Amino acid sequence: MDLEERVARATRDTVEQVTVGEITALFARPEPPRAYIGFEPSGQLTVAHLIPARKMLDLLEAGCDLTVFLADWHAWINEKLGSDRERIRASGRYMQAVFTALGIDPVRARYRWASDLVAAPDYWARVVRVAKATSVARTRRAMTILGRGEEEENLDTAKLLYPSMQVADIFELPVDLAYGGLDQRRAHVLAREVAHHYSWPVPSALHTPLLSSLKGGGRMDLSSGAIERKMSKSDPTSGIPISASAETIRERLKGAFCPAQTVEGNPVVEIVRYVVFPWEHRLRIPRPEKFGGPLEFDEYPAFEAAWARAGIHPQDLKAAVAEALDRLVAPVRTYLAAHPEFDPERFLTPSGGSPS
């Protein structure tokens, strides 16, 4: 790929690039851009994780040196999986297995644990420097990266460390290009502010959209940090597990919020836009001849136009999306079936626990 193609591959299907000029300059350098995405190991992944998986592959294909950061300490601070560190580690190993099944394997990407990074001699000094450059009010505004409101009652002091740790991670790894969903925007902007304060290299950032809950409703206002209707691992009815059977996929979609002709806030249409087209670059809608026969779209705008003019019935769309998702998650089902040691039940169900 030439420079323009690499930048296009890295930035496609994103909703924000901070900034295009900076990202282009990164790819124009002789050395590969150091990109990163961080995940809290905190539960079973959903089909929403096909969005970052596709972008991770894009970054690799564009020639990035990619780090997938498994933030086990951050999950501990955020009280995930009962704050049981063994369960959190098992969840991280499961996440790596899932991403390996989707093509992001250790040969192509570097997997690193927060527990290794925090053991570095200068890590906590970096955290203190970040904290000293950040007001308490600014830190609290960034608390939404934990999935918690800044005014949440009974917030323990450890959680105030989280934003400074996430920013410190970016500089300790180190990172040229921070990638995440839009819910991570505040952390990435904070990292840029801290970099300017200390004259450290300023990380660029890419953000992909969040997938709405299948139940619909709620708010998805990223400017205020409100993400009430995000597809969530903690609410099984809001999403579809990434290793779900074809039957489960069909059942979850059957009950999904999908008002006819509506695009905004429609989770099924979002799956088409943010998952199906980025992965398959087409959508085929099987339909009986008496209802007009099958439909096929090679571009999302053509599908959206047909949907908006009532050219597609919600039931037909749900059936098409179910077929597409079944194809996309099939490699995950196959991989986990062949590697039972990564079965999510090993960490989803407490087994006596361990000291936290």
> With 60 as the cut, is the pLDDT of residue 297 above it?
yes
- Cα 355 to Cα 347: distance, rounded to the nearest angstrom: 15
Contact 73, 165 (CB under 8 A): yes
Q: Which phi and psi angles does 301 have, rounded to 5°?
A: -55, -35
Q: H or E element: which one contains 284?
A: strand 283-285
CA nearest 94: which of 351, 296, 286, 344? 344
pLDDT of residue 354 exceeding 70: no
Rounded to an integer, what distance in angstroms lies between the CA atom of residue 149 and that of residue 183?
12
pLDDT in tens, 222-242: 544 444 566 665 566 789 999
Average pLDDT over residues 106-128: 95
- In this prediction, residues 10-21 reach a mean pLDDT of 97
Position 213 pLDDT exceeds 60: yes
Q: Is the pLDDT of residue 7 over 60?
A: yes
Query: In this predicted model, which residue has the larger pLDDT, 81 or 354?
Result: 81
Closest CA to 165 of 183, 187, 198: 187
Q: Do domains 3-211 and 228-348 have the same CATH topology?
A: no
For domain 228-348, say whether CATH 1.10.10.60 is its number.
Answer: no
Q: What is the CA radius of gyration of the chain?
A: 21
Q: What is the per-residue pLDDT for 229?
A: 62
Each domain of the chain, given as residue ranges in start order, spans 3-211, 228-348
Q: What is the pLDDT of residues 145-185, one digit of tens each?
A: 777 665 665 688 999 999 999 999 999 999 999 999 999 99
pLDDT value of position 223: 47
Give φ, ψ of 242 to 5 degrees: -75, -10
pLDDT at 149: 60
User: What's the confidence (pLDDT) of residue 216?
Assistant: 86
Neighbours of 294 (CB within 10 A): 13
Structure tokens at 176: 């040229």
d(CA 28, CA 26): 5
Number of Cβ atoms within 10 Å of the Cβ of 274: 22
Q: Which of 211, 207, 205, 38 is nearest to 111 (CA)?
A: 38
At residue 234, the pLDDT reads 56
Residue 101 has pLDDT above 90, yes or no: yes
| Distance spanning both ends of the chain, measured CA to CA | 47
Confidence of residue 288 (pLDDT cuts 50, 70, 90): confident
Domain spanning 3-211 has what CATH number? 3.40.50.620
pLDDT at 15 over 70: yes
Q: 229 by DSSP, 3-state: which?
A: coil
**Cα(16)–Cα(289) distance, rounded to whole angstroms?**
41
The helix or strand, by DSSP H or E, that contains position 69, with its residue range, turns out to be strand 65-70
Q: Are 130 and 194 in contact (CB under 8 A)?
A: yes
Nearest Cα neighbor of 156 from 42, 77, 41 is: 77
